[in-house]
A and B are shown apart, each in its own frame.
Chain A
Amino acid sequence: AQSVTQLDSHVSVSEGTPVLLRCNYSSSYSPSLFWYVQHPNKGLQLLLKYTSAATLVKGINGFEAEFKKSETSFHLTKPSAHMSDAAEYFCVVISDSNYQLIWGAGTKLIIKP
């Protein structure tokens, strides 16, 4: 069965330092992959998506992610963290069979002042 693994449940970085949130997926075909962000008690916002175009995908708020097929990874990065980036981040893949979303467990990003 398809799956998404977010390798870290929590990531803590200092403001102004780089962010790396890791995601690995399993998929039979060329996958469609997403990163969503959820701020406390708020809805989900799409950060970026990969749909078999350029492997380096740029999203909102300075985030980007690189699709690496050989590593089955889609890690999310940002060069310089901001306090407003503190939130929960979800990596998601589209199911090959029924096009439903398969969710990672989430990574909580903590920004230290």
Chain B
Amino acid sequence: GAVVSQHPSRVICKSGTSVKIECRSLDFQATTMFWYRQFPKKSLMLMATSNEGSKATYEQGVEKDKFLINHASLTLSTLTVTSAHPEDSSFYICSARGARGAYEQYFGPGTRLTVT
């Protein structure tokens, strides 16, 4: 149980285009989803926290207009990187948390974004 999927696993896009990454909880309802970014040889950096049906809470320094997060249902959250630039190239990982009050997060396999 507690499986989280991400799609796509890898994406290459041209500078200036937008890319959408999906995160799904396959066998549980995720009241909260998190989006992380991981730079090469670095730890995970939390970008934003989203609760189903409400606006995402972004961490300091993360541009909310550039990284659009939608958590429209209890099993799906999307991250859209708008007007992508090469510096947005990174490994993006989502995680999901179940019932309110639970603390354990379940991680997706990650999406490798390369902007050319």
A49 interfacial contact with B, CB 8 Å = yes
B98 interfacial contact with A, CB 8 Å = no
The interface residues of chain B, by DSSP majority, are classed as: strand
* Cα of A21 to Cα of B53 in the assembled complex, Å: 40
| Contact present for A100 and B107 (CB under 8 Å) | no
Task: Among B6, B44, B104, point to the contact of A103 (Cβ < 8 A).
Answer: B44
A90 interfacial contact with B, CB 8 Å = yes
- Which chain A residues border B34 with CB–CB below 8 Å? 100
Interface size on A, residues (CB 8 A): 19
A7 interfacial contact with B, CB 8 Å = no
* Cα of A50 to Cα of B44 in the assembled complex, Å: 20
B60 interfacial contact with A, CB 8 Å = no
Interface size on B, residues (CB 8 A): 18
B46 interfacial contact with A, CB 8 Å = yes
- Which chain B residues border A90 with CB–CB below 8 Å? 43-44
* Cα of A19 to Cα of B43 in the assembled complex, Å: 21
Which B residues, 69 to 96, have Cβ-Cβ distances below 8 Å to chain A? 91, 93
Stretch at the interface among A39-47, A58-66, A68-76, A79-87: A39-47
Which A residues, 67 to 113, have Cβ-Cβ distances below 8 Å to chain B? 90, 94, 99-101, 103-106, 108
Tell me the smallest distance from the CB of A108 to a CB of chain B, in Å.
8
Task: Among B41, B43, B93, B103, point to the contact of A43 (Cβ < 8 A).
Answer: B93
B interface residues, Cβ below 8 angstroms from A: 6, 34, 41-44, 46, 49, 91, 93, 103-105, 107-110, 112
| Interchain Cβ contacts under 8 Å between A and B, 11 examples | A32-B103, A41-B91, A43-B109, A44-B107, A45-B107, A46-B104, A49-B104, A90-B43, A99-B103, A101-B44, A103-B44
